[in-house]
Amino acid sequence: MARKKENRVERIYIMTDLEGVAGVLNFDDWCHPESRYYDLAKEFLTNEVNAAVDGFFHGGAKEIVVADGHGPGALNPDLLDPRAELMRGWGRGWPFNLDEGWDAIAWVGQHAKARTEFAHLAHTQGMNYLNLSINGVAIGEFGQLALCASQLGVRVIFGSGDLAFTKEAQALAPGIETVAVKRGTSPGAGDDLDADAYRKKNVPAIHKQPKRAREMIREGAVRAVARAGREDFGIVPLKPPYRRVAVFRQTADQPRTYSIETHPKDVIALIAMPYKRKPVESEKQLKELLRGRET
């Protein structure tokens, strides 16, 4: 879809996740409903969202919807800024009720994609993903929705999360305003690990104090709206046809698998396609798949 002619940023869609929030320290204690600090994690996320919402409204936004994108849900509706609306449940998959009517999209609490070095709690959808690429470019959850937004003409303007995520976002969508609220300290991509071991790999990190993180997010949100009003950024170039290559980690009862899908013109339709997994047959084939090449 063609770019919108005006740089007005009044309607903003915010996608959220939990693993990229300052103070959310690990999966086991923080990221599941049964986790001992889950309520506190939800509070941390909601407060970071409120900081972004306040910054966006200060910058001129008039309508904001916040999508709760964490698997079991991670926003506290009672704590959410009353100027924003909460969306949970979309009735269909990608692009999660995002459409051409939005001026911009932002992310809060986002983590980096699978295989990212020095990331905190990195994964793509789940721990079983080893790599996901479209037209040879490795992407994660941010990248999938950013491509959907770009096809719809919705500008990608802001993202907060760990430092590795911010670098990922800047590489895919140059010009995006980002805020890093923590940084992972674990080296290596973890390609040899199974899903359970990979889940434990990316826990070490250094965090901003949550109040300071919120200050940074608000400042970044104000900058994002101001820059979007005067600068031309936020649409990821799309070049059909599209090919998706997904590679999945081995588990205790399943070897590595992969799936390849194509679409002649619609990246959203491609991302929404189901996988048809096949076993990875050799290390040579695995290397080619991780490069996003069809074998």
Tens of pLDDT along 129-174?
999 999 999 999 999 999 999 999 999 999 999 999 999 999 999 9
Residues in the chain: 295
d(CA 62, CA 148): 23
Q: Which two tokens stand for residue 217?
A: 């997010």
Tell whether 16 and 107 lie within a shared domain: yes
Residue 226 has pLDDT above 60, yes or no: yes
Mean pLDDT of the chain: 95
Tell whether 170 and 275 lie within a shared domain: no
Tell whether 197 and 246 lie within a shared domain: no
Examine residue 279 and state whether it is found in any structural domain, yes or no. yes
Number of domains the chain contains: 2
Give 82-110 pLDDT, tens digit per residue.
999 999 988 788 999 999 999 999 999 99
If one compares 275 and 291, the residue with the highest pLDDT of the two is 275
Average pLDDT over residues 43-53: 98
Tell whether 134 and 204 lie within a shared domain: yes
% of the chain surpassing 70 pLDDT: 97
Residue 4 has pLDDT above 90, yes or no: no
Tell whether 142 and 99 lie within a shared domain: yes
Residue 211 has pLDDT above 50, yes or no: yes
Closest-CA residue to 68 (of 5, 113, 15, 131)? 15
Residue 2 has pLDDT above 70, yes or no: no
Tell whether 39 and 174 lie within a shared domain: yes
Tell whether 219 and 248 lie within a shared domain: no
Average pLDDT over residues 217-239: 97
CA-CA-CA-CA dihedral for 72, 32, 257, 193, to nearest 10: 160
Average pLDDT over residues 171-181: 98
Residue 71 has pLDDT above 80, yes or no: yes
Tell whether 157 and 195 lie within a shared domain: yes
| Edge-to-edge strand ranges of the sheet holding 63-68 | 85-87, 63-68, 11-16, 104-110, 155-162, 177-184, 205-207
Cβ neighbours for 112, distance < 8 A, ≥ 6 positions apart: 119, 120, 122, 140, 161, 162, 164, 165, 168, 184
Examine residue 237 and state whether it is found in any structural domain, yes or no. no
Tell whether 172 and 264 lie within a shared domain: no
- The pLDDT value recorded for residue 6 is 63
Instruction: Give the domain extent around 254.
Output: 242-290
pLDDT confidence band for 19 (50 / 70 / 90): very high
Tell whether 66 and 201 lie within a shared domain: yes
Examine residue 1 and state whether it is found in any structural domain, yes or no. no
Tell whether 265 and 126 lie within a shared domain: no
- The pLDDT value recorded for residue 295 is 57
Examine residue 137 and state whether it is found in any structural domain, yes or no. yes
Examine residue 4 and state whether it is found in any structural domain, yes or no. no
- The pLDDT value recorded for residue 3 is 46
Examine residue 5 and state whether it is found in any structural domain, yes or no. no
Give the end of a domain, one of 203, 230, 257. 230
CATH number, residue 52? 3.40.50.10780
